[in-house]
Structure 1
Amino acid sequence: MALVTTTEMFKKAYHGGYAVGAFNVNNMEIVQGITEAAGELKSPVILQVSKGARAYANHTYLVKLVEAAVIENPDIPIALHLDHGDSFELCKSCIDGGFTSVMIDASSKSFEDNIAVTKQVVEYAHAHGVVVEAELGTLAGIEDEVVVESGHESYTRPEEVEEFVDRTGCDSLAIAIGTSHGAYKFTPDQCTRNADGILVPPPLRFDVLEECMKRLPEFPIVLHGSSSVPQEFVKMVNQYGGNMPDAVGIPEEQLRKAAELAVCKINIDSDIRLAMTGNIRKYMAEHPDHFDPRQYLKPARQAVKDMVAHKIVNVLGSNGKA
């Protein structure tokens, strides 16, 4: 099976009450861990590459790693997606370079400018058999080059979504309902604390999601910034020399609810990073005499695989849907 677009993935997910996981990739071990989990669980999967990942690993290396994963996992659909493309030129480069899906994120611009840039990308992408994700509303947090300070985020306005989709022709739409980028999604002042002293974030705005669903029937919705920041890995990082106070994410039960509605794609990155980093720190502390990267990257790769398997089964519900 060759790389696919997300069109059929999203159609099946929408009507099946599940979401497809979009996991950010930066190196071989991450690609392997994600696709091994998806392959064993017979789940469709989206491997997404950010502008920062291309700068770090090189476009060609990443594409070839993903193509190798397709060869190794011929029974599951795999899409290669550009995450947070910030210009027509970047999107064009990825379209020309083998990606099957791109995101143009012009959400920081005015409504009219967002439409103009998105439409330009859509026209080029569709002419080359590639699908386009766009965004309305802005998420707080930090992810690679995407930086929005807390207090400057804005929820998606449901009354704008129909016009936006009609005028741009985009294939899916990322909306802002209270998710946030990175591992520090909310300040302590925005949260409450449970009996164990753990920060509890404000609930997602399902009213915004449901109103968008009404206005865009059977149209795939995307959630960015949807890592849950598992506290066991935050503790592991901190136990072995890290310093991550008050890192908190989106509760998994809320993401599962979103997946049962119109959300067909859920982006997950920070949870993979935490699982990898926690296990590498632990391995280094327990084996100070080891220096072979294969020694500490092997458990890190397994941690990615275990994390993705957990998300597929317990959050996305996409297992067995390939």
Structure 2
Amino acid sequence: MVIYLVGDSELSKELYIKEYLKGKDVEYHKIFADDDGKIEELKNAGVSLGLFSSAKVYDLVDFDEWSKSEKNQFQSLDLSGSWVTVFVRTEKVGKEVTKIPGKVEVLTFEKPKEWEEDKWLSFVKEVANKIGIICDEEVAKTIFKFTGPNEYAILAELEKLQIYAGEHPAKQDVEQIVFKRTISKLDEFCFALSEQNYSIAKNTLSEICNDYEPIIISYTVSKHFIELFNVVVYAPKKREYKWPDVANLSKELGIPSPRVARFLGFAFKDSKYKPVNHVMIYSPKVLKNIIEYLYFVDRRVKLSDDIKILMGLFISKLESGDFAKIFEEQDKQEQVEN
């Protein structure tokens, strides 16, 4: 059986698959676009079930990245056996899915539009329910006030609430925990990384890994460096920035002004951190190398690798200057080719 998970809500697809797998005695395999032998593996899975084998579930995580040839080969496979289920995550499907042998289902998972606040509040409550939290309208509104229309941020805050406030969080819990705890812990870890305070990052790594789901850690660290990349690309290079610089860049990039301020090394009067001007430290090419590595980390996390080991290696690479060295090697290679 092939089940197409269509739409732009990656979180909803992830939660649907988790719910589907719950309580089932199956072998679960994630398949990525750059995996070798994926067509052959799926073909063999559809042929028969061995005497001592479990039913198999395959998750084609990034089907949109497959080549046209690979997609055509996949769609010609017979996956109608009751022992195999294949989830296909994709933005959209065409008429060609009707030609696939066997039973095919198409399920749609769409995020609300950014301006559809009522639908986002329903989304917050649905996600809360799926992870075991009872979330009323007031709590949902307060969470959404802090996260905005960002599905993974919503999940991160709900999981943080679950840890500190249990299954029945109140509005006061959101105001105290989501704002204070989230900003002071995971965000501080991210800034320790980008501000090159590696001893702080190492000392807080275990706590971060205990308090947050691995996918939330990899997502938040990636998002942090992507935002930094945008700041470095668009900010005029200066040794010192004034508040109008911060406000204008925040508006242009859609990044909260406190985060832009910290990236630019602008300190408020009551700031507890030593200002570090990231623009003077990082180049776009070095940040690109960092972000590419974080994509690798994210993939390994989704394959259930240990997030503490992955983040520890990432810190070591940052500390040793590996990402700048990669940039230098790329430059040398370009010079040789030219």
Using the size of structure 1 for normalisation, the TM-score is 0.31
Of Structure 1 and Structure 2, which has the larger fraction of its residues in helix?
2
Whose relative contact order is higher, 1 or 2, with alpha carbons under 8 Å and at least 6 apart? 1
